[in-house]
Chain A
């Protein structure tokens, strides 16, 4: 007997030994609490959890053990990272694939795993805190029950479409069943993040858990424990049949289901959605159309067909240039959210802004809610009042959308000081000027400011074209002078272009980047020069647009040509938004700096428009006529007379729709490449990011540099030569572009 028992012990030891050998798991682990297995996900190599091959393998092992363990009746799936459940599938895993078949295989593996989870004999409760996106969401919705915290960090969504992909682990199949066709399309086609309370309303999660304050442990740690406790109770409740898994349908739901049971109604929805997608994407993005196709297959032909369509479309999409471009932008965006200049010596706690105009107030708006004391100075009470109202409106709109409470709005506003004098500037850590674009005024301002600010204070200029070194010429301490070029509207445009001169100190740059990151911006840091990077790329394109107008293309046609190429905003509309006066100003400045190469249309055309008061949206008239309250806009008929007097005869050899598009784009791209060649740009990644996020370069092309890589430098050069023959050196390809054209193995992106 004793021997037997000893043998038992021995075998247990060996079993355990073997167990530890095999279960040296790093990403997924579990512990059994009573009759509930708590499965924890934690990628030790990253701040976020992603569904990688490794993670999936360990998950499959763990679930296998959970299913075979008779003592376990149910399971809870939770992340050990407080801010992240699962942020999605591992993009590198998809990028590493060489063929569509490989990608399809990945999708099918995911589908199989989640199908097993969906059919799990033991209920699995997903306990969600932090981001639950993409594959993470697909994982969660395959579980039997979902509990989520009300934390602001908790967001659910399927952002695959933003990467030119689709939710390929059952997402296009389960979502319509769970939240209905309209919501499923909304989620998968926009990729937007859904907050926990909304997710509960939509039926995406079953139960919400409050976030907790500090107790016997830190708030985040205890909130995670609490979430786990509640999820465990839910798991037991499901096993005990105390919590039903099928919710009784409300009246509205029943009506909706009934309506949806008619194929006619469903077809109507597919058509409407399809039309909307085509209108918004101009057919330049394949992913949304594929998503519609997958959902349709699943609903109309059953889940087998649906899953097949999903995995195959996913494979195809992963190989498209659009997806590669979008993924490239994603990586670039991540890179541009880091401060490569290190930690600044002094944190900016008080920021003063000169000028309460659209830009100044916009900067205040994105600063004041980040806990930075913000001073907004203007020269007139009216200007100050307008600026203050802009900041208030921005915050109040957030209150209306319930993303902040009215109380948070008020406390945030208490951080904003509006004034007409320089009082309090002795405490400023940074001053950003957003005054009129005139070097004399900038010089006057910098002298006034330097008389009152402390020695460590940074002076940043929000100029869009004036070289920073010219502005710094009036400064006593040029090492503290830097350019911070924001884009209008500041609260919507993600880009911040930071411009350093050869005198700007590294700490000044680090501090400017730190402030920009705090403001939520994507940042490119470029060298000094007329127009820096973004304005310099835009100028030749706008000059070309003016020529196109002179050649008799009307503004609406010009807009449709540019949006048809993928620009989110048409060239004529863009000019109106920027302001015709600003465009004229920039064209003149850069024209002086770069000579005829930046010419194109007659700059006098813009000047005449300004003289007539057609300054764009802000004056109600530009290329278009803007009427308050009216969304649709009509072409400004009075513009015709001006255009008539500047009329040029188009050369039919270079005036086809496609040629006009490439005339516009090639000048943009050529200037961008030249910026890299001259060292204004540090690398092609920042060039792509700046062009897409600041100027609206077509995201599906991934930015000017990726465009050259994909389109082929040689083909672009060929087109440019043709234009060069007609218009001259404005279309001369720059040496770096020619290098790439000669050697097809040269690529901007590896």
Chain B
């Protein structure tokens, strides 16, 4: 009976016509995704440990060139995202592009917007093309958590800077003499939200509690993510990966963080942030990851003229922001209805959902928020809920929980995955949504390119 029921529903879904045939707008250039690639995402401190961020970025950019065979000089512009900046390569976009053998005549800039940095890179590219400034833009993002800038304390920095200016030996010696033990304690990059001094995991735990998401639900969702990722990996669906020869080490060609466990194993873990009664654990959170991604975005006409078959149209997108304390990770809830309205679509029109999974608790809280009239009315100023995406269309090839989450590289992975899933599953519209530190969020509608 269950089977027939689901069959009927599938038929019904297939029969229901989309509310719109295409999202092309008169007078607006069609922007397309030609190709998207990424390095394998590795847990930080593993095979990539001795690299630098621009090395990873280079690998993704080279992989893109290699896979598309795109002439380097035809790239008009490069936009790249990163979150934790390596101070030596503060404009990592430029360093990576030069290192990857792009033309030194192609300008490149770096953007940052926490976990939606590469989304910002892509939408910047879309804007450049739509405005007629460029025809072919490479966008992407890199995150390298195996090495992060750890600074001297402010006191020590001040002493060292004064030392530069000290003219006499006596002045230098007296400055050196002023160094105390306290000067030597290092300053780690902030893991906490600057405005609230709360770590993201702690906020996620509170968010899960606010929506009554249980530990069990979170563990189940994390297990689902890992199981689906494993399946996708085994079936060879993660075709956006380009192999990477790490100097002095083997060629890396697979993500290494996918590890389907059992509910019993996961239940043993202690909460990581809110102790002792919290629900967010290491197993139901995304982990520190190294990785880079890159996409080639073009105007449709130019792509076709150059003989490329685009993978998908990049359509409407929105950025949202809300209270960084209590609604830090609710970006998808706010962004989804907004982008659907812009496109004139309903939730039912979407065939493929790819949401960034920061924490299982965060995803489940977002799903509950989207299903709640109370939340829509009291917090979003909407008349009614928009509804939550059906799970059978949701992150079907794994997500950030299992594949890993190199902050600034995740956005391109989501968009490329939507394009690949639309093709594989025969859908027409896909939706990408993500949350980011600072209480911000993003969503984009993607339309399959006609076969």
Chain A interface residues (CB < 8 Å from chain B) = 207, 209-219, 222, 226, 230, 233-234, 405, 407
At the interface, yes or no: B270 with Cβ under 8 Å from chain A? no
Once the chains are docked, how many angstroms separate the CA of A522 from the CA of B159? 49
Report how far A226 CA is from B210 CA in the complex, Å.
Answer: 8
Q: For residue B365, which residues in chain A have a CB less than 8 angstroms away from its CB?
A: 215
Interface residues of B (CB under 8 A from A): 194-197, 202, 205-207, 209-212, 274, 276-277, 323, 325-327, 365, 368-369, 372, 374-375, 378-379
Contacts of A207 in B (CB 8 A): 276-277
Q: Which residues of A sit under 8 angstroms from B379, Cβ to Cβ?
A: 214
Within 8 Å by CB of A216, from B195, B276, B326, B372, lies B372
Contacts of B378 in A (CB 8 A): 214, 218
Q: Return chain A residues, CB-CB under 8 Å to B209.
A: 210, 212, 215, 222, 226
Q: Smallest CB-CB separation from A215: which chain B residue?
A: B210
Task: Kindly list the 8 A-B residue pairs having the minimum CB-CB distance in the complex, ordered from nearest.
Answer: A213-B326, A215-B210, A212-B210, A215-B211, A407-B195, A230-B277, A210-B206, A214-B379
Complex Cα spacing A209 to B279, Å: 13
The winner among B210, B323, B326, B378 for most chain A CB atoms within 10 A is B210
Tell me whether A212 and B194 are in contact (CB under 8 A).
no
27 contacts between A and B (CB under 8 A): A209-B277, A210-B205, A210-B206, A212-B209, A212-B210, A212-B326, A213-B206, A213-B207, A213-B210, A213-B326, A213-B327, A214-B379, A215-B209, A215-B212, A216-B210, A216-B211, A216-B374, A216-B375, A219-B326, A222-B209, A222-B210, A226-B209, A226-B210, A407-B194, A407-B195, A407-B196, A407-B197
Q: In the complex, A212→B327 CA distance in Å?
A: 10
Chain B contact residues, majority secondary structure: loop
* Cβ contact within 8 Å between B375 and A405: no
A218 to B379, CA, bound (A): 10
Minimum Cβ distance to chain A for residue B32 (Å) = 40
Q: A207-B276, A405-B197, A407-B195 are in contact. Are A213 and B375 (CB under 8 A)?
A: no
A66 to B195, CA, bound (A): 46
Q: How far is the CA of A583 from the CA of B202 in the complex (A)?
A: 56
User: CA A234 – CA B277 in complex, angstroms?
Assistant: 9
A242 to chain B, nearest CB (A): 10
Shortest distance between the CB of B213 and any CB in chain A (Å):
9
A405 touching B196, Cβ below 8 Å: yes
Are A214 and B274 in touch, CB under 8 angstroms?
Answer: no
Closest chain B CB from A197 CB (angstroms)? 13
Docked pose: A217 CA to B378 CA in angstroms: 9
With a cutoff of 8 Å between Cβ atoms, the chain A residues found around residue B274 in the complex are 210
Q: Point out the residues of chain A lying under 8 angstroms from B206, CB to CB.
A: 210-213
Whether B277 and A214, one on each chain, are in contact in the complex, defined by CB atoms closer than 8 angstroms, is no
CB distance from B235 to the nearest CB of A (A): 37
Pick from B207, B325, B374: contact of A217, CB below 8 A: B374
Residues on the B chain within 8 Å of A215, using CB = 207, 209-212, 365, 368-369, 375
B276 to chain A, nearest CB (A): 7
CB distance from A232 to the nearest CB of B (A): 10
Q: Which single residue of chain A is at the shortest CB-CB distance from B193?
A: A407
A214's partner among B195, B276, B326 (CB-CB below 8 A) is B326
Separation of A234 and B274 alpha carbons in the complex (Å): 15
Q: Given known contacts A207-B276, A209-B277, A219-B326, is B196 in contact with A214 (CB within 8 Å)?
A: no
Q: How far is the CA of A178 from the CA of B200 in the complex (A)?
A: 35
Query: In the bound complex, do residue B197 and residue A214 qualify as a contact, i.e. CB atoms below 8 Å apart?
Result: no
Contact A216 B368 (CB under 8 A): yes
- 4 additional A-B pairs beyond A213-B325, A234-B277, beta carbons within 8 Å, are A209-B277, A214-B375, A215-B375, A216-B372
CA A226 to CA B368, docked complex, whole Å: 17
Q: Chain A nearest CB: distance from B209 CB in Å? A: 5
CA distance A234 to B276 in the complex (A): 10
Most chain A CB within 10 A, of B212, B323, B365, is at B212
Please name all residues of chain A whose beta carbon is closer than 8 Å to the beta carbon of B325 when the two chains form the complex: 213
In the complex, what's the smallest C-beta–C-beta distance from B328 to chain A, in angstroms? 9
When C-beta atoms are compared, the residue in chain B nearest to A233 turns out to be: B277
| Chain A residues within 8 Å of B375, by CB | 214-216
| Neighbour of B210 across the interface among A214, A230, A234, CB < 8 A | A214
A214 vs B369: C-alpha distance when bound (angstroms): 10
- List chain B residues, Cβ under 8 A from A211: 206
Task: Give complex CA distance A592, B392 in Å.
Answer: 88
The closest CB in chain A to the CB of B273 belongs to A210
Distance between B324 CB and nearest chain A CB, rounded to angstroms: 10
List the A residue with the shortest CB-CB distance to B213: A215
Bound state CA distance, A366 and B277, in angstroms?
Answer: 38
Query: What are the residues of chain B within 8 A of A230 when measuring CB–CB?
Result: 277
Residue in A closest to B210 when the chains form the complex, CB atoms: A215
Provide the residues of chain B in CB contact with A217, threshold 8 Å. Answer: 374
Q: Which residues of B contact A213 (CB under 8 A)?
A: 206-207, 210, 323, 325-327
Name the distance in Å between B206's Cβ and chain A's nearest Cβ.
5
Inter-chain contacts of B212 with A (CB < 8 A): 215-216, 222
Nearest residue (CB) in B for A407 is B195
Residues of B within 8 A of A226 (CB): 209-210
